Structure 1
Amino acid sequence: MLKQLHSIRYMYIRSHLFGLILNTFVLLAVLLSIYVWFTPSWLSAGAILLFVSLYFVLGLFMAFYAGFKSSGDMKERLEGISTIIAHLSRGNFNARIHTLEQDEIAGISKELNELGEKLKQQKESLLRLADEKAEFAKTAHKAATIEERQRLARDLHDAVSQQLFALTMMSQASLRVFDHDPKKAKEQLEEITKMALQAQTEMRALLLHLRPVHLSGDPLKSGIDGLIDELRQKCQIDFQVELDEVEQISETTEEHLFRIVQEALSNILRHSNATEVKVALVKKNRELFLHIGDNGIGFDTEAKKSNKASYGLKTMRERCEEIGGNFAIRSREGEGTHIDIRIPIHERQMK
């Protein structure tokens, strides 16, 4: 009930009533002034009271009628504006409002029509962009898949395939000299064993690289722990792990960090000959620090940029930069390799 009293219709009625009361007081003041100053015979106090009372009652009815009549048109026009706003909010950008008036409300209606047309054009543009983005994503994914397959094919050919070929040749040679020179055959068998272990390590690194990128909903700490536990069972490497619980980071950041750790461990298995590896993930203030170090053979970062391991380093650097981080690598021959990454923490958006 109180809400209705504040509606535009009752606002119009109140304004007419205020005008009626003001006119009644003005009329009463005029009649009383004439009565006091001139005292005409036809004007008495009773006549003044009767005339003012009749004027007020008649004006009261006229105020209600005029208020309802004038507010009805205004209410109808405002309801039209409200309707088109509701259509626009629901995504119906073809809705339009038509008016013949030339006042301020007509101007608002015209602006709403123009807004609907602009929103319609923006919607069409966004749909086109979405289609183009989806097509671009498919093309990029296809190109990335082809590139990754080519790289894995090169790695298999350059490492495992050549090692297996060498193993075959040395095995045949060992069989030929086994009867008349057992000592030399034993030396060749020891070399074959070393080469077989190297090929096995290379295959483990390639399989690690082919591991799924996504964490499947697991926290980053759990994903890294699982990855290192798997390597502990297969490799004779002492892993030192220090991982903080990190919860308020985006899924994209988690996946990129996991992929960086995966790529770094793959490079360590294939190239470093390390016996100790340290992985640390520390959260401090509004930053996340990731350290991956080994005691392997190391390399000259400037002299070996063309080395096949540089592809992995380039990929890690690009992933780090995509999430706004800083990538630094320190390595010297005979002193191991150390990767340090610093990333600002962007809180996971609430869904």
Structure 2
Amino acid sequence: MKRRFSSIRYLFIRSHISGLFITTVTILSILLSIYVLFSPEWLSPAGIFLFIALYAVLGLVISIYTGFTSSGNMKSRLDSISVLITQFANGNYSSSVRFEEDDEITRIGKELNELGKKLLDQVKSLQRMADEKSEFARTAHKSAVIEERQRLARDLHDAVSQQLFALTMMSEAAVKQLEKNPDIAKSQMQEVAAAALQSQTEMRALLLHLRPVHLSGESLPKGVKQLISELKQKSQIDFKVSISDDLILSETIEEHVFRIIQESLSNILRHAQATEVKIDLSIRSKELFIHIRDDGKGFDVTNDTERKTSYGLKTMRERSEELGGTFTLRSNIDEGTYIDIRIPC
């Protein structure tokens, strides 16, 4: 309510009422001064206050009406500018406003239109640079393969290798306890099974990274669906994918989006402990919308240490920004994780 009465329309009404109040006080002062100094017969105290009362009531009605109507055009134009700024914030830089008046608000609208054109040119420049970067990446494929192998080797050593070593130790301990303490042996074997499942999950995530960096000539919808089909055979996660088969994008955007989805699925396999994953890709208002959701354990996005150490999230954000897009991450502990990406196309 307080916010409503602070709008431009009520500011106009208050300014009219303020003018009415000043005018009423001025007229009352003049009439009282005439009455005190000259005491004319035609002027009486009752007549003065009756006139002032009628003037104030009529002026109040007129002030409210004129303030409400005269501010309508300005409010409409300011709302249009507000919507335009929101469109810019959401990455829709092709939006614009048109005003017929020749005043300051029209000048602001024209300047915002020019800003939108410049931002759109910058997005095109970013995408052009991404195309050039993609070409350069193809020529540097061998060095990228070596770097990826080194990273996978580190991951294998840090995760799967250590888990397999732990499995060996726990298995040997369980064998020794099998005859003496069957209950302890059973508990240890349960721990072995849990550790083996975790190792299997880690290995699936690492194998996911061994897929080709490029789509190898396939379209994005076909590549994503093949990726999901392979994961369905190797995991218990329920995948729900919504993507149009006639989705037409540039080669660079398709490759970046495919890698973003691949990286997000790898994170889900390794960390989320999810049972359901939903992926939506759609084109709306010349923008590609990507929504990836899982029902896993989630994490605290306000934890700077946890967020900054996530190599996968950093890579996805960088790929989105290279295309002039926006990357939004939402997650809460025990409530899953949501990723929303918007890329101009």
Q: TM-score range by the shorter chain?
A: 0.5 to 0.7
1:279–1:293: 8 Å Cα contact kept in structure 2? yes
Distance 1:246 1:280, change over 3 A: same
Q: CA deviation at 1:301?
A: 2.0
Q: CA deviation at 1:151?
A: 2.4
Q: CA deviation at 1:272?
A: 0.4
Which residue of 1 is the match for residue 268 of structure 2? 268
SS in 1 for 2:179: coil
Bigger Rg, which one = 1
SS in 1 for 2:333: coil
Mapped to 1, the partners of 2:142 and 2:192 lie a distance apart of: 39
2:282–2:289: 8 Å Cα contact kept in structure 1? yes
The runs of 5 or more residues in structure 1 that have no matched partner are 1-132, 346-351
1:149-168 aligned at under 5 Å gives the runs 149-168=149-168
Aligned residues: 213
Mapped to 1, the partners of 2:140 and 2:235 lie a distance apart of: 35
Q: CA deviation at 1:214?
A: 1.6
Mapped to 2, the partners of 1:155 and 1:306 lie a distance apart of: 18
Which residue of 1 is the match for residue 211 of structure 2? 211
Distance 1:326 1:195, change over 3 A: same
After superposing the two structures, state which structure 1 stretch, 310-319 or 150-159, moved more.
Answer: 150-159
Sequence identity, in percent? 64
2:240–2:279: 8 Å Cα contact kept in structure 1? yes
Which residue of 1 is the match for residue 148 of structure 2? 148
Mapped to 2, the partners of 1:270 and 1:159 lie a distance apart of: 10
CA RMSD of aligned residues (A): 2.4
Spell out, residue by residue over 1:123-144, the C-alpha distance to the aligned partner (whole angstroms, 9 max, x if none).
xxxxxxxxxx9xx869965654
Mapped to 2, the partners of 1:140 and 1:219 lie a distance apart of: 23
Mapped to 2, the partners of 1:291 and 1:246 lie a distance apart of: 18
Mapped to 2, the partners of 1:190 and 1:141 lie a distance apart of: 44
Q: CA deviation at 1:308?
A: 8.4
1:244–1:283: 8 Å Cα contact kept in structure 2? no
Which residue of 2 is the match for residue 201 of structure 1? 201
SS in 2 for 1:211: coil
Query: Given the two structures, how large is their TM-score scaled by the length of structure 2?
Result: 0.58
Letter in 2 for 1:155: D
Mapped to 2, the partners of 1:309 and 1:241 lie a distance apart of: 29
1:1-351 aligned at under 5 Å gives the runs 141=141, 144-303=144-303, 305-306=305-306, 310-345=310-345
Mapped to 1, the partners of 2:308 and 2:230 lie a distance apart of: 25
1:246–1:283: 8 Å Cα contact kept in structure 2? no
SS in 2 for 1:334: coil
Mapped to 2, the partners of 1:207 and 1:308 lie a distance apart of: 24
Mapped to 2, the partners of 1:252 and 1:323 lie a distance apart of: 9
Letter in 2 for 1:231: L
Letter in 2 for 1:173: A
SS in 2 for 1:178: helix
